[in-house]
Amino acid sequence: MQAAAVFKMNGSTAMSGDQFYSFQEKQMKPRSFPLMFVVCWFTITILVAVGVASLLCYVQIREYQGQIDEYVERLEFLEQELEKAAKMTSGAKETEEKGDYMQMETTVLSELEARLRRDVTEEPQESENCEPGPRGPPGAQGRDGVPGRDGRDGIPGMPGTPGAAGAAGPIGPRGDRGMKGQPGEPGIPGEKGVIGKSGPEGEKGERGSCGCDYHPSSWLQHGLPTSQGSSHGSSSSSSNDGNSSSSGFSNQPLTTGSMYVRWGRTTCPNTGAELVFEGLAAGSHYSHKGGSSNYECLPLDPEWGTYNDAWNSKSYIYGVEYEVSSFDPFSHENAEALHDHDVPCALCRVPTRGVKLMIPGKTQCPEKWTKEYGGYLVSGHYAHNAQFIFECVDESPEARLGTHASQDGALMYVVEAACGSLPCGPYVDGREMTCVVCTI
């Protein structure tokens, strides 16, 4: 799955990197093709509409033609009957002269009634007071009627009431356990291996400028100590970019001070901070609805207890990638590219200052506070299922080597201000939020 950062610049609508490049390509194409497409579409629509209207007119004309033919046949039938009635009437007049008018009238009426009914009952009708008379002569066979038209469809009936729910079926037998999947491809070689066993203690060196109570290796192997022990005499060295590589610690008791994670860097700043360990950022998958809501700084050399190399649990942790494809506000002093690279981290301890504070929207610390580092506020994507707390990534972040492939997992997006609910005076819509980590 491709994930793209969502940024707003100058109030414009947010879009992913791929959509942005696709949009530029569409803007560079000539616009004659859409115009021709609209004209063709409009012409086809008119032709289809004319064809449909012609078809409806043809069907209606055929219906009217059938009705007209039916009425013509009925008129012809009535004209024939009137001509026969006129002939019978003239014959009745001649019969009246001979004294047989009543018998002729009865015969004419019976024949006319038989023709109009088009059938003759097999049994004579009986009345309560009259005896049945003799059966009359059969009438002439009438003409075939016009075939009737199909009636209209009836109105759909009301839907029936839902039937009762059926009884639950028996639980089926449990299926066979699936085969174990194939092992995945080997991962990229790590930068550092597991710390080996301690060698024989060397000769005690000369005491440095500041005595150190514990060596970082003892922290990694035995956890944070709570009391002072023997001094190894190693000292802290500083790099040129203002970072402490922490080859040793100050002589302050290890039960004092404060701890913080420097996101995006592998070293601690040159503020008297000491490196506990170098690690990599991790968190829940961006598409999962559950899991953790914070980023974690995992060590590069994990230690395992009882384990089973199969997907037995329903909780997972993934590495974190930078998502800065649309706009990258960071400086690139320590990495040429950041997008889709894994995020490193460093766990730092300040032995002489016991309170740590991260201030979003600021680049400097309050008076009497010490600035550990500054950068940009990050969190998860607003439309993803996973939610992450806000963290501060160093303004000059590093990227873990060999991790440029987009593996997704947990993701980091730069946070932008949205004025409206925030006051639009000091906050600017779509502007990237800064942050600073302070101690005192």
Q: Residue 280 — pLDDT band, cuts 50, 70, 90?
A: very high
Render pLDDT for 318-328 as a digit per residue (tens, 0 to 9).
Answer: 899 999 888 99
Pair type for strands 370-379 and 391-394: antiparallel
Confidence category of residue 98, pLDDT binned at 50, 70, 90: low
Strands of 317-367, DSSP E? 318-323, 344-350, 356-360
How many angstroms separate the CA atoms of 251 and 213, rounded?
6
Of 21-30, 227-236, 277-286, 305-314, the range with the lowest mean pLDDT is 227-236
Residue 266 has pLDDT above 90, yes or no: yes
Going by C-alpha positions, the residue among 337, 312, 335 that lies closest to residue 325 is 337
Asked whether residue 265 carries a pLDDT value surpassing 80, the answer given is yes
Confidence of residue 398 (pLDDT cuts 50, 70, 90): very high
pLDDT at 317 over 70: yes
Overall average pLDDT of the 394-398 stretch? 94
Q: What is the pLDDT of residues 166-194, one digit of tens each?
A: 888 888 888 887 777 777 777 776 666 55
The answer to whether residues 281 and 391 touch, using CB atoms and an 8 Å cutoff, is no
Across residues 47-68, what is the average pLDDT?
89
Q: What are residue 281's phi and psi, to 5 degrees?
A: -70, 145
Confidence of residue 304 (pLDDT cuts 50, 70, 90): very high
**Mean pLDDT computed over 130-153:** 79
CA 372 to chain CA centroid, nearest Å: 40
Q: What is the pLDDT of residue 165?
A: 87
pLDDT computed for residue 233 by the predictor: 31
Query: Does residue 246 have a pLDDT over 80?
Result: no
Q: What is the mean pLDDT of the chain?
A: 76
Identify the weakest region by mean pLDDT among 177-186, 220-229, 322-331, 356-365: 220-229
Specify whether the backbone of 348 is left (phi greater than 0), alpha (psi in -120 to 50) or beta. beta
| Tens of pLDDT, residues 202-219 | 676 665 544 334 333 334
Q: Which pLDDT value is given to residue 196? A: 63
198 pLDDT above the threshold of 80 = no
